[in-house]
Amino acid sequence: MKQHRYRVTLEYLADADGNPQQREPLVFEAGSHDEIIGIVEMVRRRELLDAQTTAAFVVGQKLFGEAVLENRSNPLFSEFWPHFLDFMKKLKGSVKQ
C-alpha cells in the first residue's frame, strides 16, 4: 500500500510536577495512507477542540489507526477492529458537518 512518510519527534519537556527534563528525544518514522497534516488543519477549522489538543488527537489517532489497520487480523486488535471502524465513521461524520 502506498503511504505518506513521516518522521515523528517526541521531546520530554517536564515531568508531572513541572520539573524540566533532559532526555534524548524519541524519533521514529511512520507511514500513513492519509496526509496527516492536512487532516489536522481540516479538524482545526471545525474547532471541535483547541488547536493543541486537535493536533495531539489527530496525530495519535492516525498513527494508532494505521497500526491497527495493518495488523487488524492480529488477535490483539481483531476484537477491537469493528469498534474502531464505528468510531472512525462517527469522527468523520462530525468533521464533515
| pLDDT confidence of residue 54 | 97
Confidence of residue 95 (pLDDT cuts 50, 70, 90): confident
Show Cβ contacts of residue 69 under 8 Å, excluding neighbours closer than 6 positions. 33
CATH no., domain 4-96: 3.10.20.850
pTM higher than the cut 0.95: no
Phi-psi category of residue 18: left, alpha or beta, with phi > 0 → left and psi -120 to 50 → alpha: left
Q: What is the pLDDT of residues 34-82, one digit of tens each?
A: 999 999 999 999 998 999 999 999 999 999 999 998 888 899 988 888 8
- Delimit the domains of the chain by residue range: 4-96
Q: Which helix (H) or strand (E) holds 61?
A: helix 51-70
